[in-house]
Structure 1
Amino acid sequence: MSHYPMFADLGGRAVLLAGAGQVAERKAESLMRAGAAVRVVADALSPQFQSWLAEGRITWLGGAFQEDFLNEVFLAVAATDDEALNRRIFQAAEARGKFCNVVDTADLCSYIVPAVIDRSPIKIAVSSGGTAPVLARKWRQIIEMLVPLHTGRMAEIAGRWRGRVKAATPDIGARRHFWEKLFDSRFSTLAAQGDTAAAEAELAAQLAGYQPHQGEVVLVGAGPGDAGLLTVHALQAVQAADVVFYDALVSDEIMAVVRKDAEKISVGKRAGCHHVQQEETNRLLVEYAQAGKRVVRLKGGDPFVFGRGGEEAQVLRRAGIPYRIVPGVTAALGATAYAGIPLTHRDCAQSALFVTGHSKHDGEQPDWRTLALSNQTLVVYMGTLRASVIAEKLIEYGRSPDTPVAVISNGTLPHQSVQTGRLQDLPALAERAPRPALMVIGEVAALRDELKWFGEAA
């Protein structure tokens, strides 16, 4: 991040604006809306600037820029068509430690102005760091459609009641839960209708009858790694959590969208590495939920596909803990799609099987005869350490040694890698592959060269 995001309080502060054309008019309007005392330097004033001057809304310093003008201002904006003058203003501002923005000249800006969604007092800023302002404006338009017009009215009411809510609910977690519940309730409808009195009455009624939040657990599928594959429900859950228990397979990109002040506890499991025992994870989920916390159990892929989500849900059910399941994109779907390998294809694979490379120590052996059938795709999770056994058994039970295979590492992430070969090569491919890795066995793996679209070999 090359720019530090912040909102400046310009109320009553002097701002120097160089220029008085159409671009400068837009800058002046936004500055005056923020309460700035605008001081204009320009040879001539447009009719709009003349009107503002007559109304006493701006101060005109004349046409000649003087460096001393910067001494008593908070920041400066250069919006003239004279490149040399703009540069001179920027350099003078730099010498005096003043913020300066030269319109449409990124290298002459010590601050940039983002595209803004204004639902005062709620404001949302979108910035490209000066690299692509048109793209930032495009996303502002998209986000603006999602933010109700009455959002500002709700914020104004909440501001008036903030002290009383704090006094009634001194616990910060309980207070946050109260506001979250309120903003999703009839209070929002009343604010949208413009009935401020009724909205405040609804707030008062909910505060009077508020009960501390009951703890719950949400088992959330984080998908294979790319944060763009998170579902809306998954995103909402991790941004509302008090505590997040996360696996080793959850990417840094996904952890970055977890609510910043949530407690984050690693309970990762990875073959060959020290990890938290499942029984301890189960105990922690129950303990935190019984303490009234909103708990998220964040798992790579899908909670119910080799994620032990079923075991955890059983524990929660027995303990009487409310829980929800948020499905995720399992690796067999996400990683293969990003690798350009379809799981089924009319010409060569009419079915797909998902299997794990290991089970409980007393687990039965797989049905190798079924796994070795042709015209199907076999996707093996957590199997790289047993690749030799898997290849040997599949060949023994009838699968051709020349069956195409692929080993996908870090699927859907920028550093994804895919190795392809034949079934007889699987042990060597698995040995070389970065972990975690997913093994794909079947004729569809041969389609990667034709269909690859993502990653280093695309």
Structure 2
Amino acid sequence: MTTSRKPVEVTPSRRAPRMEALATLPVFFQLAGKKVIVAGGTDAAAWKAELLGAAGAEVHVYSETLDPAMEKLLLTGSVSGSFVHHAKEWHAGDFEGMALAIADAETDKQAEAFFQAAKTAGVPVNVIDKPAFCVFQFGSIVNRSPIVVGISTNGAAPILGQAIRRRIETLLPLSLAGWAGLAGRVRNAVLDRLAPGSQRRRFWERFTEFAFSGREAPEDDRRVSDLVETVARAQPAGQGRVTLVGAGPGSAEYLTLKAVRALQGADVILFDDLVSDEVLELARREAKRMLVGKRGGRQSCSQEDINDMMVSLARSGKNVVRLKSGDPMVFGRAGEEIERLKDEGIPVSVVPGITSASAMAAELGVSLTHRDHAQSVRFVTGHSSKGELPETVDWSGLTDPATTTVFYMGARMAGRISARLIAEGKASNTPVVAMANISRSDEARWSGRLKDLEAGVQDLPAGTPILIGVGPVFGMLRQVQQAVPSELKMAGALT
């Protein structure tokens, strides 16, 4: 029998530091209309000059000779700034009035001379590919101007930085630039029409959903002004809302982009024991985090206490995220919470998550509906509301050899589940698998036969969430493991 506890705000010890140590400080220079000096006419210098010009700078290039790339750049000009070519070597007096100084030097002696001249003039300096003579560095850039993302590995792994840039490029649609520009144009209307706090945040959440939809930003600002009015009417000042968010099985990599945006927009997060710290770390730093742990057989918050807290917080104007492990709509008691919130007239929405059964299949590399073995899949609770084996389940139906069955929260009932299935006619040698802490660093698994399920589950970490899969598809598990190349096994060990 479980005992009840009240929701509590997490202690500081559960939170990560507000800011870990930084290898370098990311800053953004405003260069529009300012002068910068570039020493060298090489291809590398041309690339830096083009960046500076794109930022609106007046770029003074000092070089007696020009490589083709620099020559072409000076001929075609800049999309935003301008170029001035000085067909000579630089001198100390050329640094006066410069905002930045960049050079491509062949030798360390030349690099040091340029570095010292810039330092004496008080101008931030970068000598390309010579970290010892740099006070700032260029990172990889994702350009969705006015949104600009800079990535730095502090010179340790440039190729990794480029890979990160490519990953971010896939996440940020090209149309985002238009939406960012539109945001700047409607900002005053938002400030004038919407109240500070939840109303404004709700607008920007909706705006962000449009921005990441892949659609082009509307050219008519009045359409966005209409959205301002819609939000003002839909969520009056002083009224909050609740979003039920699926946190997935554990790893933050299983979160959806929509879930991350919900966490970033929350005032308060009510989260379960099973939600990992790495998921919580993606939330808005100012959001209050309240632990409302619900674990089978342990001291837990009552569902009524959780419902009362959601209602109270939303009525006080807070945007509340109810963060649940897995998917809220799969054994997450979301139905009870949605019903209560709707009865109270509080806006509620749902962001689905990766349910544990899907994550289990992915981690094992086994399809739950492999067409040679299973034509259906069932998700079944491992215990009733009274903590016993659920009697409302069609146990005889679960013996269908063409069905894969996944039991949630079945650790304590493993022996009874096995016995009941066998008694109903399920073959005792049916392949089964049990997994604990799916997708987490301490993931553990056992595979065997249905008749050995109870003993197998006992080998897994006690007190952890355990999923049990039953069906012929899990007989493929050994084949899959044997087919994995040795180098991939090594890679898995590293992760």
Shorter-chain TM-score tier: 0.7 to 0.9
Which deviations, in whole Å up to 9, do the C-alpha atoms of 1:131-156 show, x marking residues without a partner?
A: 34543554465456443453354244
Q: Within 1, Cα distance between the matches of 2:130 and 2:457?
A: 51
Correspondent of 2:38 among 17, 22, 29: 17
Which deviations, in whole Å up to 9, do the C-alpha atoms of 1:194-241 show, x marking residues without a partner?
A: 556x67986997899894274322222232234444445434433333
1:409 aligns with 2:436: yes
1:188 alignment counterpart: none
Correspondent of 2:382 among 344, 357, 369: 357
1:154 alignment counterpart: 182
1:279 alignment counterpart: 304
Which deviations, in whole Å up to 9, do the C-alpha atoms of 1:38-80 show, x marking residues without a partner?
A: 565545456578889xx996586953787x9989976543434
Task: Identify which of structures 1 and 2 has the higher relative contact order when contacts are C-alpha pairs closer than 8 Å and 6+ apart.
Answer: 2
2:453 alignment counterpart: 426
Deviation of residue 182 (structure 1)?
6.7
Deviation of residue 310 (structure 1)?
1.4
Q: How many residue pairs get matched?
A: 443
Q: Within 2, Cα distance between the matches of 1:221 and 1:309?
A: 10
Q: Within 2, Cα distance between the matches of 1:229 and 1:92?
A: 49
Deviation of residue 242 (structure 1)?
2.8
1:260–1:21 Cα change, 3 Å: same
2:242 alignment counterpart: 217
Which amino acid counterpart does residue 117 of structure 1 have in structure 2?
N
Q: Within 2, Cα distance between the matches of 1:374 and 1:208?
A: 54
Which deviations, in whole Å up to 9, do the C-alpha atoms of 1:158-191 show, x marking residues without a partner?
A: 45x27xx546656333333345567889xxxxx9
1:377 alignment counterpart: 404
1:402–1:226 Cα change, 3 Å: same
Deviation of residue 281 (structure 1)?
0.9
1:123 alignment counterpart: 147
Q: Which moved more, 1:198-207 or 1:11-20?
A: 198-207
Q: Within 2, Cα distance between the matches of 1:269 and 1:62?
A: 73
1:226–1:69 Cα change, 3 Å: farther
Which deviations, in whole Å up to 9, do the C-alpha atoms of 1:402-449 show, x marking residues without a partner?
A: 332212223234554332222343233322324222121233222112
SS of equivalent to 1:337: helix
Deviation of residue 339 (structure 1)?
1.1
Q: Within 2, Cα distance between the matches of 1:111 and 1:256?
A: 28
Contact 2:100 2:123 in 1 (8 A): yes
Contact 2:193 2:228 in 1 (8 A): no
2:477 alignment counterpart: 448
Deviation of residue 295 (structure 1)?
2.1
Q: Which moved more, 1:3-12 or 1:21-30?
A: 3-12
2:468 alignment counterpart: 439
Alignment identity in percent?
A: 33
1:292 alignment counterpart: 317
Q: Within 1, Cα distance between the matches of 2:232 and 2:377?
A: 56
Q: Within 2, Cα distance between the matches of 1:377 and 1:180?
A: 39
Which deviations, in whole Å up to 9, do the C-alpha atoms of 1:83-112 show, x marking residues without a partner?
A: 545764798699999865454577976523
Which amino acid counterpart does residue 455 of structure 2 have in structure 1?
A
Which amino acid counterpart does residue 274 of structure 2 have in structure 1?
L
Q: Within 2, Cα distance between the matches of 1:397 and 1:152?
A: 61
Q: Which runs of 5+ in 2 are unaligned?
A: 1-21, 211-215
1:387 alignment counterpart: 414
2:4 alignment counterpart: none
Counterparts in 2 of 1:170-249, with a 5 A limit? 171-180=196-205, 194=219, 211-212=236-237, 214-249=239-274
Aligned CA-pair RMSD: 4.4
TM-score w.r.t. the length of structure 2 is 0.72
Contact 1:126 1:136 in 2 (8 A): no
Q: Which runs of 5+ in 1 are unaligned?
A: 186-190
